[in-house]
Amino acid sequence: MSARLLIVDDEASILDFLSLLFQQEAYEVETARSATEARAALSGKSFDLVLCDVMMPDGNGIDLLREIKAAAEDGPAVVMMTAYSSTKTAIEAMKHGAADYISKPFDVEELKIVAQKALERAELADENVYLRRELAQKYTFNNIIGKSPRMQAIFSLIERIARTTSTVLVHGESGTGKELIARAIHFASPRASRRFLSINCGALPENLLESELFGHERGAFTGAVRDKKGLFQEADRGTLFLDEIGEMTPTMQVKLLRALQEKVVRKVGGNDEEAVDVRIIAATNQDLESRIASGDFREDLFYRINVLPIHLPPLRQRREDIPLLVEFFLQKYCKQMELPPKQISVEAIGMLESYDWPGNVRELENLIERALALSHSDTITTRDLPVHLLTHRRVDSDLIQLPEEGLDLERYLEGIRVQLMQQALDRTGGVQTQAAELLGMSFRSFRYYAKKGGLKGE
């Protein structure tokens, strides 16, 4: 994509000369004859480079430079120009963030080199800012935890497909870590130094989603006060993650399919097409083939995004990973909360392994964070876990074995009832109303069975 250049100078002859020069170099050029015009241009459009005269009729170019640099960390590069060669002015310009400084009259070849170098340095700086942000979030392969055979197979698959540029479709229930997988693919790929951008396709109405993906021209709709790049342009040579792609409307599915097939995008309200080089990783928690059968999802789009499918199993299908995940989250949140290292009891781990986790890994992470915030001990116990883990736990058939000689079922169940009621009383300090709530019983029933079983409590 060609660079966008704003030239600011009060001399018409200079503007005409520089416009022609940089248009021949394939720049998109706009001009301004004053600081006021420059501010108007900058407020309405985005630029990659500004060539700015130091002396202007309505202000100082250094002041405009300060404003540009204060507006955004990733704003345009600025090269200052002046007919009054001064070391003091050059130092001041560089101190306030100018990429370079050049004196009139210009050496044409030198000016072209200065502009190109300024753009390259700005692009590198933007990438460094981006990488610092990403590294700070620690989205790496090492953050995906799992020793289960199914997760080990996924790790192996990620390593193989990361080297390709093919589109990936990650399928799994909510909370299984689909975006984490997408980021792992990106950072293990040759595109790792470029941008990884993401969007939830179900979180925006159709018109806003189109603008976010493809950008818009100034005035394209109410509120479009400036040009905006879309995520496809921003992620050029990088990766774009389309979460919940099954929520896209049929109209947006058609527009996305065209962008994937043609590798070009057109801004909302614009006529020009821009070529883009973006790897797409899509994700869904829906059965897209069923949606195809019902006419809600395009079959041609499905085959376009389902080149490399990855299915993430729910946590209940990889219970052996729960202790590893718990340890990871304990370390993570102890560090975040500035707490001393904490452990978790064997009984608590057993309770976590017996729960079905409808919210998957996200639910487990939230639970560990909550337990650490509320616990006053150096060990997380069953007392620190929510009540619903006890009342909705999975019963392991391996723990229930019918003896060869048979048993008295009523007496056996009565014994289990008494044990659980005693544990509930122990946990609640003998308060029967709270113990009844733990077990999902009415207070009247609890009191009856407690008396029958010889249990004591308040």
* Least-confidence region, from 4-8, 197-201, 398-402, 442-446: 398-402
For position 120, what pLDDT does the model report?
84
Are 333 and 366 in contact by the 8 Å Cβ rule? The answer is no
Distance CA 324, CA 368 (A): 12
CATH label of the domain that carries residue 448: 1.10.10.60
Segment 325-336 shows an average pLDDT of 93
Q: What pLDDT digit, counting tens, does each position of 150-193 carry? A: 898 998 899 899 999 999 999 999 999 999 999 989 988 999 88
The answer, yes or no, to whether residue 73 has pLDDT greater than 80, is no
Residues 130, 192, single domain; the answer is no
Q: Is position 396 within any domain?
A: no
* Least-confidence region, from 8-12, 15-19, 147-151, 426-430: 426-430
Q: What pLDDT digit, counting tens, does each position of 293-315 carry? A: 999 999 999 999 999 999 999 99
**DSSP letter string, 123-180:** HHHHHHHHHHHHHHHT-SGGG----SHHHHHHHHHHHHHTTS---EEEE--TTS-HHH
CATH label of the domain that carries residue 356: 1.10.8.60
Sign of CA dihedral 151, 156, 161, 163: positive
Q: How confident is the model at residue 422 (pLDDT cuts 50, 70, 90)?
A: confident
For position 417, what pLDDT does the model report?
85
For position 244, what pLDDT does the model report?
96
Residues 277, 160, single domain; the answer is yes
Domain count, the chain: 4
Distance CA 246, CA 227 (A): 29
Of 134, 167, 198, the residue that ends a domain is 134
Residues 229, 376, single domain; the answer is no
Residues 154, 20, single domain; the answer is no
- How does DSSP classify residue 315? G
Most confident of 281-285, 321-325, 343-347, 403-407: 281-285
For position 266, what pLDDT does the model report?
92
Q: Is position 397 within any domain?
A: no
Residues 19, 160, single domain; the answer is no
Residues 294, 328, single domain; the answer is no
Q: How confident is the model at residue 139 (pLDDT cuts 50, 70, 90)?
A: very low
Residues 357, 376, single domain; the answer is yes
Q: Is the pTM of this model over 0.75?
A: no
Q: Is position 400 within any domain?
A: no
> If residue 368 lies in a helix (H) or strand (E), which one and from where to where?
helix 360-374
For position 440, what pLDDT does the model report?
83
Query: Percent of the chain at pLDDT above 70?
Result: 91
* Least-confidence region, from 130-139, 159-168, 379-388: 130-139
Distance CA 31, CA 118 (A): 18
Segment 245-259 shows an average pLDDT of 95
CATH label of the domain that carries residue 8: 3.40.50.2300
Residues 324, 294, single domain; the answer is no
Q: How confident is the model at residue 397 (pLDDT cuts 50, 70, 90)?
A: very low
Residues 308, 428, single domain; the answer is no
For position 56, what pLDDT does the model report?
86
The answer, yes or no, to whether residue 347 has pLDDT greater than 70, is yes
Are 225 and 198 in contact by the 8 Å Cβ rule? The answer is no
For position 136, what pLDDT does the model report?
37
For position 123, what pLDDT does the model report?
77
Averaged pLDDT score across all residues of the chain: 87
For position 105, what pLDDT does the model report?
83
**Which structural domain, as residue segments, surrounds residue 39?**
4-134
Of 285, 313, 341, the residue that ends a domain is 313
Residues 273, 289, single domain; the answer is yes
Are 50 and 79 in contact by the 8 Å Cβ rule? The answer is yes
Residues 65, 193, single domain; the answer is no
For position 131, what pLDDT does the model report?
57
Residues 341, 362, single domain; the answer is yes
